[in-house]
Chain A
């Protein structure tokens, strides 16, 4: 059984122009000990998906359909009080800016022990402090930093503190939303290497969200690429490196200037994302797609499963389905 099983997730926002689904029928699963990436550009719904799973949705956003099963339990059916037994203890979260995770007026040691006291009743202060010191060691921070306030630490050290906090209760799933985007690349590399090492030690799973596809392909075992609220493609790292299936993923991969290989002119992706209040029929990517077929304008793309991934695109429909789709498109 997968640790996390998301099926047909629908998350709705309300806007001045009416409600819209920022996440519209997203499905994926996350195995134990796996790092699964959610990629895509701004507004694609990747963070909303993660916040929906972690019950961090704000404002008008709410889950209106689908299922989120964690370790066999349906999370969408839980009350907030019931979900609190999962929060931090079994599912913890690392956000982009460490300052959003940390309380600026609390010392590092108090923030770490807070997490421990909140979920582990009857722990003595000395015991909690000892655990906090161990956590600092795990993320390679000197123990004297326990006495510091967040602003006295560098951005990279703060993000290490946040990762230490996320580990405090040995969760099975850590959701990381752009955990290194605000950092310089050398600092980023140190943190990414640390996450991989800790994952090997503790065996937790990671849902890793970033717009940086090359970074994602360095750290993740499998990657899901979202576009306009839907899952365009899921593929193993190896599959992605050998060549993505979905035209959107292909375009995204072509948009990153590489440091290796020949210097070639990159194409990017022309056009812009569709209006989610009134999404187009058929494939949402079709206006920007280099390979669009007649059917793409009217029929939702079929989902095709392969051994190394899933793709939602008419180009990969079974022959007979494709004929039907082409006929329907006429």
Chain B
């Protein structure tokens, strides 16, 4: 089956400085991923890993320096004329509902205005009420005439979800939509998004730093580090047996007092951030407890020897010796 959203080898290079001292920052480096109809894909990584830049490129808010993004087989438009067309299929839920909502508009306008922009004729109040009910803001009549300042954080986020939903998108991109909310409210928002996904056969790209929320929401996970995808696979497999040392570190650093068994030796090495990220070779190697000399050489390829799973590591965890050696042969060719 063809993927609904296809991200093909996209990169983003930010340039800064003037004529004399120009520096380049490669925030996203050759990321490829696919999102299928009705699927939830979690993009997991820490701050600065490039996950939000990736989201902006997928939305067409930021043209990729390289690569392409296609939605249902058609490239994402970069010009304004095509943006409405993109928006019809692809909607975003932002992290901070306090920032992303217009404080001067009533709920009716916040949700109703996009409907009008997308061609709704006549009054939209009835449709707005219906959307409010769909996101659990009932009785809807109590909410439609409120201003954002009269709503709690969780209610604001529900309004933003209703707004995104109104246009009838195929794909929702959610960038940490619960991280500003209390946990007991956040879980309600997650449940709402799962229900809406099911009822409307939506696809969901769930961007988060929290492996727990990624597990709760997703069918598949991609792990990002230093602008690259370092591991990908079905959610339960990644959580049960991470293969990239960074994924392992992330998993064992995530608080879980119910976890049994000892943590892997050398996890504390992952906290050595002061050396910065190397440009070449494995970007995680300065913090990797298992790094070898050849991790510094060349570009580390994504190994996809196992079906459904990929890992960008020469020495993947969990009995990956065979695949490691096969990559090494390939790499000798690569580095000449």
Q: What is the CA–CA distance of A215 and B154 in the complex, to the nearest angstrom?
A: 23
Contacts of A215 in B (CB 8 A): 255
Q: How far is the CB of B230 from chain A (nearest CB, A)?
A: 14
A268 and B271 form a contact (CB under 8 A): no
Q: Is A82 an interface residue (CB 8 A)?
A: no
Contact A218 B255 (CB under 8 A): yes
Contacts of B249 in A (CB 8 A): 186
Given contacts A154-B274, A214-B256, A266-B191, contact A193 B268 (CB under 8 A): yes
Minimum CB distance partner of B263 in chain A = A189
Contact A184 B213 (CB under 8 A): no
Q: Tell me if A's interface is mostly helix, strand, loop or mixed.
A: loop
Name the distance in Å between B160's Cβ and chain A's nearest Cβ: 18
Complex-state Cα separation, A41 to B188, whole angstroms: 15
Binding-face segment, A89-97, A107-115, A252-260, A311-319: A252-260
Is the beta-carbon distance between B273 and A258 smaller than 8 angstroms?
no
| A255 CA to B186 CA, complexed, in Å | 8
- Flag B243-272 by CB within 8 Å of A: 1 or 0 each: 000000111111111111000000110110
B183 touches A260 (CB 8 A): no
Q: Cβ of B115 < 8 Å from any Cβ of A?
A: no
**A257 with B213: in contact, given A186-B271, A189-B253, A190-B268 (CB under 8 Å)?**
yes
> With A41-B183, A217-B257, A241-B258 in contact, is A256–B212 under 8 Å at CB?
yes
Q: Are A157 and B268 in contact (CB under 8 A)?
A: no
Interface residues on A, range: 35 or more
Q: Is the CB of B215 within 8 A of A259?
A: yes
**Which residue of chain A lies nearest to B267 when distances are taken between CB atoms in the complex?**
A189
Q: B103 on the interface (CB 8 Å rule)?
A: no
A 283-313 binary contact with B (CB < 8 Å = 1; else 0): 0000000000000000000000000000000
**Counting CB contacts under 8 A, is B13 at the interface?**
no
Task: For the complex, give the distance between the alpha carbons of A266 and B189 in Å.
Answer: 11
Identify 20 residue pairs between A and B in the complex whose beta-carbon atoms are under 8 Å apart, listed by A's number: A41-B183, A156-B271, A184-B47, A185-B253, A185-B255, A187-B273, A190-B271, A213-B183, A218-B256, A251-B184, A254-B187, A255-B184, A259-B211, A259-B254, A261-B258, A266-B187, A268-B183, A268-B185, A268-B191, A272-B154
Spell out A's residues near B (CB within 8 Å): 41-42, 142, 154, 156-157, 184-190, 193, 211-215, 217-218, 237, 241, 251-252, 254-261, 263, 265-270, 272
B residues at A contact (CB < 8 Å): 46-47, 152, 154, 182-188, 190-191, 209-213, 215-216, 236, 239, 249-260, 267-268, 270-271, 273-274
Q: A156-B271, A263-B236 are in contact. List 20 more A-B contacts (CB 8 A).
A: A185-B210, A186-B46, A187-B271, A188-B253, A189-B252, A189-B267, A189-B271, A190-B268, A218-B255, A218-B256, A241-B258, A252-B183, A255-B186, A259-B212, A259-B215, A259-B251, A260-B260, A263-B215, A270-B188, A272-B152
